[in-house]
Structures are given as structure tokens and as C-alpha cells.
Structure 1
Amino acid sequence: MEDLMFMSISNLAKTLSIVTAGSAFIAFGAIDKAEAAFITSQSDPALSGTKLIDFESVTPGSYTSLTIGDVNFSPSVGEVEFVNADYAGDYNTQGQSLQNTYAVKAFNNLKISFLTPVKTFGFNWGASNVPWKLTAFDSSNNILDSQVLPIVVSSNAGDFFGIKNVSAPISYATLVASEFGDYVLIDNFKSKSVSVPEPLNIAGTGLVGAMGLWLNRKKVTTKKA
């Protein structure tokens, strides 16, 4: 009987190990096999529940760094960004928007940092005359996905682009021009934070299930003995 009990405890330990490992995978998204994908519409289901930054609350002017909510917009060193209502209603904008303008120090490289990691983001894109590359990175600076934004020129059809379904939380993204001096506008920036399950809660649920399984097996073993 002692041997049977020892075997039951051993099996319980193995079960708990599997549950704990499974909990860790779920908690950190390791079992998510979704591939990164390009967002090309505001109606993309991945944008459901996103936070909106429309730049309306920002004091018009030039900035070397701008934080709105949990998103920071920063041009490369020596470059600046502008927020104003120039061309409002045109080039896929409504009201104020983030721009680089024709200024000498206008940005050609913009870093978008997420103070809270996200899994989805996108924005209205206007007035581009050359390709711009949008790249998403994780916290270790690994590239999660990279897309070349379409040239939209004078389109005002609501052109919206972004990145979704990456293999790890997005820590930041870069927007880089293929040529200098291209005046572009960004508006209605949307992002969706990563929702991470509580590891202890998941592990606790697994522990209760495993304990119940062990007790049931123990009852059966005791009867047979």
C-alpha cells in the first residue's frame, strides 16, 4: 500500500510540474502561434478595444519628445515633430495631427514607444510621397514585424495602417522615411495593450484540479489495497 501511495504522490508531482509549465507558457504568451500581420483598415477586428490618441488635447507647437497617455513620440536626435491643425480635414486627418512639416529639422525617423507593451497599433496616414518603413520591436530590440507603408499622396479616404498579431509584446516601433523631406501627417493613433493572465491564478487553478485528481486516485487505490 505504501508503494502505491508513493506512486500516487510521484504522479501528482509530475502532474503539478506539467500544470506549472503550462501556466508559464500561457502567462507569457509562449503558446501564441499567431503570425504578425499588416493592418490596412480602421475596421480591422484586432483594433477592437484600442485606446485613441487624436492629438486634440496637445498644445500646438514643435516637440523633441511628446508623451500622450502611455505612448511617447520622439524624433531622432536633432529632429523635431509638430502638432497643429494645418490641413485639418485633409490627408486623412481630423482637427490636429502629428506632422513633420517642411521644417529643416523635421523628422525623417520617428520612434513610438509604448510605456505599457501593446499587441496592436495603427494610425491614419497622410500625404506620403515616398515609402516609409514601419517596424515593431520587442523589449530586447528584436524585430517583430516590418511593413512598408503605401504611398498615399493626397488621398483623404481614411488610409489607416498598423501592425498586429506579433509573437511578443510590442515595446516600441519606428517609422523611417526612404528619402529626406517628405511631409507626412499622422492622426487617430490607436493601440491595444497586452493583457497578461495572472500566473498564480492559472497555476492555482491547475493545482486544485491536480489535487482533486490525486485524491480520487488515492481513494480508488485505498479500496483496492
Structure 2
Amino acid sequence: MKIKTIIGLSILVVFCSCKQVRHNSSENAVNSITESVSDNGILIQNHMYRGTEYTDSLGNNYKLRYIPITITNESGVHVEASIVFDKEYQYPNADEKFKVIPLPTEWAVEGKGITEMMRNELKDYINQPKMNLSLEPDETIKIGIGTLYPLPPQNGGIDVKALFLISDKTLYEQCKWLSENWQQKKPKKSLALKLDFEGCIIIPCGEFHFR
């Protein structure tokens, strides 16, 4: 009788352990980092994209596809960053336009749903697509960056892939640059955003300042 009880308990423990492993594996998939870049003491970790829909005050419907981004200052000094996007961008080889917007910390928090207040505040970032960041040594902050395009899209969705510090632009010569003049410069601590639409698209969007 005792032997049967021990065997039964052992099976139960193994079963629960397997369930726990599967649960953790699924949770890690949600939290997984898709691209991590460390340059000049700045670590940028780009996470898996999320999506939602947005309706503006005129009743126009849009798709918002965004990624959470974790930025850590490992440089040992105070740093500031400015992230600025144009009011809108044009799809490559098409007349349709889309927007790129920065999103505050609450959009990047894992496990937090999108509240009505967060949706209402979107218009502020749509009208002024810029954000200033300040990080002390070893400080970490979370933000989001997303694309906003009309529904239904005429040319398909356009996804954010990664924010990064570009120190060697030759690594991205195969990409479509939305600012050819900027590509000719020699950026040292410049920020750029990589998008995915029929290949790679690069949008210059700011720079870091080390104090």
C-alpha cells in the first residue's frame, strides 16, 4: 500500500514539474528578446512585437504594431537621448503613408493591458512623435516604438524590428534608407530604427549625448 502511494506521488510530482516547464517556456517566449545591441556603453534590447487597433477622433481606424524596448546605460556616465520621427513616412514604391511613434513606459511593461487612458494619450505622440530620455549610470528604462497605418492597409502591414545605435552604416547598405542625406554622414552615437516591409527599411531617429 505504501509503495503504491509513493509511486502515485512520484507521478504527480513529475506531472506538475512538466506543466511548470511548459508554462515557463511559454512565458519566456512572450518575454524573449529579438535583437540586442551594445555599443558605446549603451545596451538596447528589442522585444517581440505587440499589436492593437486605434480609432482617431474622426473615426478613422488604424493598426498599431509596436515593440517594447529596454535601454540600459552601462557607460558609467550620465547620458541623454532624443528620439524624433517625422510626422509621417511614405511606403516604398507606393502612395500610402504611415506614422512612427514613440510610446511611454506603460506600453512596454510586461503583462499590463492597454487602458482607455493609454489609448486617449496616443494622439499626443501621434501629433508630436518625439521623446527625450535621461539615464544615470546603470539605469534601465523601458519604452515602446510603433508603426501606425490605416485599416485596411493598401500595401500590407509594416513592422518595427529594432532600435539601435549605428556606428557602421555599411552593415545596412542593403536596406532602404528614408533619409539619404543622413546616410552620407558618419554617425558615432546616432540612433536608427529598422523596419520590415518587403525588405529592410532604416529610419534615422536621434542620437545619444554623453555628459
Question: TM over 0.5, yes or no?
Answer: no
More strand by percentage: 2
Using CA pairs under 8 Å that are at least 6 residues apart, name the structure with larger relative contact order, 1 or 2: 1
Q: Quick check: which has more Rg, 1 or 2? A: 1
TM-score (norm 1): 0.30
